[in-house]
Amino acid sequence: MGGTMGEPAGGATAGIGDIQAGRLDAATLAANFADAHPPLTPAQAVVEANRCYFCHDAPCVEACPTGIDIPGFIRKISTGNLRGSAQTILEANIFGGSCARVCPTEELCEHACVHTAQESKPIQIGALQRHAVDWLMARGTVLFTRAAPTGRRVAVVGAGPAGLACAHALARHGHDVTVFEARAKPGGLNEYGIAAYKVPDEFARREIDFIVAIGGIGIEHGKALGRDISLDALRREFDAVFLGLGQAGVKALDLSGETMPGVRDAIDFIAEVRQAPKQQIPVGRRVVVIGGGNTAIDAATQARLLGAEDVTIVYRRGPEQMTATHKEQAWARTHDVRIRHWAAPARLIAEAGARGVTVAGVEFARTRLDAAGRLELTAERFVLAADMVLKAIGQSLVPGPLDGLVATRDGRIVVDADRRTSLPNVYAGGDCVAGADLTVVAVQDGKLAAAAIHRQLSGAA
């Protein structure tokens, strides 16, 4: 029915606002949300590791934002030195476990792999990385120890990958770190913003337990910048501050009716899928997701897996412009999610149903590029019926809590190469600064900031 012109089918009576939990039985839900990419067996890992050429100046390393010595860790897998392999990974990227699961490797290391050039079949770098890190974490091995306490104190705002990567590196140097986190759990988007089947079995929590086990890191939950703590106070109480705020704001469609029942932010839906039992998560029978990033893919695919019958992603530009990778798009299609391009929402259609006035559909305007290459809406319209509309058109930095103390540009905190902000002793990284919004980039930001903070605290800067 999606794509038909005119009024949504069914009129006011037949299931308008059909949003309910428990569309599928518990066993089906458990299967649907199981590990999307099961781990390699030890035998598979060795076979795959042996395919690696151990390149010099390996293109994969350059393609990794955290610069993991990929040929090095893969060789150690092939020789049975799994502890050494995990150490190589985690020295460069303490979130190596989750990056192995959520990185768009097809656009990073595996895209650069020389096997891609040779035979279009890269080494499964992500899967191998997971193999080594999982091996280590399963044994509870402590790899990192703290240097002698320095007595210096650093505040980290946000317990996401950027903040905790920074905290871990600082803790290794012997500094004391206090992490202030607004939400109830640490992990940031790893805990709240990524599809459940990418990090099943409480992986995000277990990884953070592993990271903070080094000691010297205290996490204070329920502490939001601008509400419970102020940047000014942090600067006074701590020797340095790292801001890993992420992007707490969600972009709006700017259409009337955005707050009516049935319309919600995809990122909230994803968080609910991560936090609540699957049987208790309400989902529409017909779902329209608006956006072109991984959030749209994660929301749409999970809506299907919760039992939505009909799920469509609508993106205003073409497949090449989607920030969701080709692999992610294919993943959604595999789950029977339709992806429609070159259409932008023009109107939210409200209708009275059994549960009062709810969203009943979205009217889209077809889009095209004008002569100057700018996107423009055309007069051509179509309507997609929907019980649930998920907005995934992007998030934004909420600047208020910064009290105007830190320079921003284009909605992001301005930082230098060492992730220093315009404010002395204040650093920032992750999605609140410019750059690709990826876990692996956030980790690198945290790592670089920690190195700079340590130099500053050691008087070497």
Q: Give residues in contact with other proteins (CB under 8 A).
A: 46-47, 50, 53-59, 78, 114-115, 117-118
Where is 46: in which H helix or E strand? helix 42-51
User: What's the min distance (Å) between Cβ of 445 and other proteins?
Assistant: 23
Dist CA 124 CA 145 (whole Å): 30
Q: Which is nearer to other proteins, 57 or 410 (CB)?
A: 57
Q: Which is nearer to other proteins, 113 or 240 (CB)?
A: 113
User: What's the min distance (Å) between Cβ of 73 and other proteins?
Assistant: 17
User: What's the min distance (Å) between Cβ of 108 and other proteins?
Assistant: 16
Strands (E), 14-73: 19-20
User: What's the min distance (Å) between Cβ of 59 and other proteins?
Assistant: 6
Q: What stretches of 69-113 show up as alpha helix (H) in DSSP?
A: 70-78, 82-92, 96-102, 109-112
Q: Which is nearer to other proteins, 57 or 370 (CB)?
A: 57
CB 145 within 8 A of CB 214: yes
CB 244 within 8 A of CB 163: yes
Strands (E), 192-334: 217-221, 240-243, 249-250, 263-265, 283-284, 286-290, 310-314
User: What's the min distance (Å) between Cβ of 55 and other proteins?
Assistant: 4
Q: Which is nearer to other proteins, 56 or 409 (CB)?
A: 56
Q: Which residue has the tokens 């340590």?
A: 454
Q: Which is nearer to other proteins, 56 or 374 (CB)?
A: 56
Q: Which is nearer to other proteins, 28 or 44 (CB)?
A: 44
User: What's the min distance (Å) between Cβ of 46 and other proteins?
Assistant: 6
User: What's the min distance (Å) between Cβ of 61 and other proteins?
Assistant: 11
For the CA atoms of 318, 324, 327, 328, the dihedral, rounded to the nearest 10 degrees, stands at: -120
Short-list 302, 237, 234, CA closest to 270: 302
Distance of CA 284 to the CA centre of its chain: 24
Q: Which is nearer to other proteins, 117 or 354 (CB)?
A: 117
Q: Which is nearer to other proteins, 57 or 201 (CB)?
A: 57
Dist CA 367 CA 317 (whole Å): 7
User: What's the min distance (Å) between Cβ of 64 and other proteins?
Assistant: 16
By DSSP bridging, strand 412-413 and strand 240-243 are unpaired
| Interaxial angle between packed helices 125-139 and 82-92, expressed in degrees from 0 to 180 and rounded to the nearest 10 | 110
CB 397 within 8 A of CB 432: yes
| Residue type at 178 in one-letter notation | T
